[in-house]
């Protein structure tokens, strides 16, 4: 069962994006021992204008960004949700495909690597991880790299 429901907002559909998204999110769920749950993630692929509007609307930051995450659960609720026996969203991840392309070039790696990174990053925000404090950032980065290395999606 796919772990993503994918929507395109002012962007043309692309099956290659969907393959990457499903592969990466399946692995995230496996690594977090949640593959048997009926949880899924709503993924919206869009353009810089829409992500800026959403960032302003929901975070009061009038600035374009690469990825936004909107969790449905608090971190302390996550242990309970693994037992949910109906299909339910873990949250939303919104990604600017144009920024994926730009950052892949800027960092000198593939589009797949950059999209995969944004998905994993968003996934761990939905799982209650953050990177404000340096100690939390190290934990989050380690988890992100674990998923990407397991999938052999390297820099």
The pTM score is 0.93
Contacts 24+ apart (CB under 8 A), 77-85: 78/127, 78/128, 81/37, 81/39, 82/33, 82/34, 82/37, 84/37, 84/38, 84/39, 85/38
Sorted by where each starts, the structural domains of the chain and their CATH numbers stand as: 4-150 (3.40.390.30)
pLDDT tens digits, 4-28: 999 999 999 999 999 999 999 999 9
What pLDDT was estimated at residue 78? Answer: 78
pLDDT digits (tens, 9 = 90+) for 110-153: 999 999 999 999 999 999 988 777 887 898 899 999 999 999 99
**49-78: per-residue pLDDT in tens?**
999 999 999 999 999 999 999 999 888 887
């Amino acid at each position: 069962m796919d772990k993503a429901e994918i929507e395109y907002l002012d962007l043309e559909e692309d099956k290659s994006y969907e393959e990457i998204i499903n592969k990466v999110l399946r692995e995230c769920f496996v690594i977090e021992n949640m593959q048997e749950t009926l949880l899924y993630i709503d993924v919206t692929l869009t353009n810089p204008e829409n992500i800026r509007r959403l960032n302003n609307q929901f975070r009061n930051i009038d600035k374009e960004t690469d990825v936004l995450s909107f969790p449905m659960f608090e971190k302390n609720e996550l242990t309970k949700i693994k037992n949910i026996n109906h299909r339910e969203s873990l949250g939303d991840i919104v990604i600017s495909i144009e920024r994926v392309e730009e950052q892949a070039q800027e960092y000198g790696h593939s589009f797949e690597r950059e999209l995969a990174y944004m998905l994993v990053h968003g996934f761990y925000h939905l799982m209650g991880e953050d990177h404000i404090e340096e100690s939390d950032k190290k934990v989050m980065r380690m988890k992100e790299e674990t998923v990407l290395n397991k999938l052999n999606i390297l820099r």
